[in-house]
Amino acid sequence: MPVSGRTSVRWWRWRRNALKRRVDVVEAWVVLAGWVCALLGGVGGGLMAADAVERAVARQRAESRPVLAVLVEDAPGPSPARSASDHRVWGTVRWTAPDGSAQRDEARVPPRAPAGSTIPVWVDRSGDLTPAPVSDGEAWLHTALGGTLAGSSTAAALLGAARLARFSLDRRRMAAWEADWERLDARRGWTTG
């Protein structure tokens, strides 16, 4: 198998080199700063998003509490077109609000539950029905996914900004090379292209 004669020189932008231009040094610093900012920004963005999700879960848990509601009428049977993950049906329930007033509303109840059955529901501070707070496992999953998504999005945005800066530097490099070639050709009376 033939071996290529091409040699790759690593870190050439950081070494002394007669062909190295100022734009090459700037590009090296842009690449380094882009990766450092992406790493730190991604971690910071992920941690901030995870903290925001944790605070939202804690607020949801603090603002709701379970109460026992009484089913007003017999619950219907399960619908044939029901979702495979949710076996409950809608039924009318009544409960007592924190201020002592009687409340009545629609809630998800087990199918074919008889009237008078007690059903646990979640209410907010004003006594209105609210969804049950997420479980510890769901809270962990939301926190992990939210932090990961926010961190990777932040890192990608910062790397994209660094890439745009490199495109701009590449254009400047090409313009400088073109100007140098024009200057070299003009001295010798040649024309390129």
108 vs 29: CA distance, rounded Å: 59
Domain end among 97, 118, 134? 134
For residue 166, the number of C-alpha atoms closer than 13 Å in the C-beta half-sphere is 15
pTM above 0.75, yes or no: no
Residue 15 within a domain: no
Q: Is the dihedral of CA 102, 106, 109, 112 positive or negative?
A: positive
- Is residue 53 assigned to a domain? yes
- SS3 of residue 146 by DSSP: helix
| 116, 134, 152 - which closes a domain | 134
Residue keyed to tokens 């610093």: 29
The domain containing residue 130 runs over which residues? Answer: 63-78+87-134
Q: Cα–Cα distance between 163 and 168 in angstroms, integer?
A: 9
Q: Looking at the domain assignment, is residue 3 inside a domain? A: no
| Chain segment 83-119, per-residue pLDDT in tens | 555 688 888 899 888 788 888 998 888 888 888 889 9
Beta bridge partners of 103: 95
Angle in degrees, CA 141, 159, 32, rounded to 5: 120
Please check whether residue 124 lies inside any domain of the structure: yes
Does residue 181 share a domain with residue 91? no
Residue 167, domain member (yes or no): yes
Confidence of residue 82 (pLDDT cuts 50, 70, 90): low
CB 30 within 8 A of CB 162: yes
Q: Is residue 12 part of a domain?
A: no
> What is the per-residue pLDDT for 128?
85
Q: Are residues 163 and 73 in the same domain?
A: no
Q: Is 91 part of a structural domain of the chain?
A: yes
Structural domain count, the chain: 2
Q: What is the mean pLDDT of residues 15-23?
A: 76
Tell me which of 183 and 145 has the higher pLDDT.
Answer: 145
